[in-house]
Amino acid sequence: MKKQDQRIQLVASTEFRNDVDKWRREQTDLPSHSEAIRRLVKIALRSGDSETMKMITAIIRPHKYEDVRNALIDIGIEGLSATEIRGFGRQRGQTEIYRGAEYKTTEVPKIKIEIVVPATKLDQVVNIISKSSETGKVGDGKIFVSNIDQAIRIRTGETQDDAL
């Protein structure tokens, strides 16, 4: 029978131990030193892995939302959040004509879409959003990508990609 657990000896500086202690105190369950180091190593290994998740935030024109949503559904995206927002970019608003009178709006209506995906799907999702929201005119929007360290489905307790 092969032994599963093995002890690893670690010699560390006082500064390293203080950093680990500081991180431990920030945790809700205050793990032991060895458990804290185990968790930190796991986080570090996962961050260099394709297991990391990405948050894609896209700011698009409102009339392109249905096109983007349908294109994402077609590639298997199972959830997204959409919010109606107002803002401006380089164009600093837009000039419109209403009943013959010209007026300037300082903030333009947009839709903000937020999606969390496995890192392996990042390029595909970004390309789909870009292609399906592009009009070729100023004000098409922006796409931002952020790292997500952890995801938890509240109902089941599933984590990471399983929670998506």
Question: Can you give the pLDDT at residue 31?
Answer: 82
Domain chopping of the chain, boundaries: 14-47, 53-154
- Residue 114: count other Cβ atoms within 10 Å of its Cβ: 15
Question: Can you give the pLDDT at residue 154?
Answer: 85
Taking every pair of C-alpha atoms in the chain, what is the biggest distance, in angstroms?
86
Sequence-distant (6+) residues with CB within 8 A of 122 are 54, 56, 145
Question: Can you give the pLDDT at residue 49?
Answer: 54
Q: Please tell me which residue, 131 or 29, carries the higher pLDDT value.
A: 131
**What are the tens digits of pLDDT across the range 46-63?**
666 555 789 999 999 999
Q: Does the model's pTM come out above 0.75?
A: no
Q: Is the pLDDT of residue 125 over 90?
A: yes
Written as six digits, the tokens of 10 are: 């670690």
* DSSP for residue 86: E
Distance between CA atoms of residues 94 and 110, nearest Å = 13
53-154: CATH topology: Alpha-Beta Plaits (3.30.70)
Distance between CA atoms of residues 127 and 132, nearest Å = 8
Q: Is the pLDDT of residue 37 over 90?
A: no
Distance between CA atoms of residues 28 and 25, nearest Å = 8
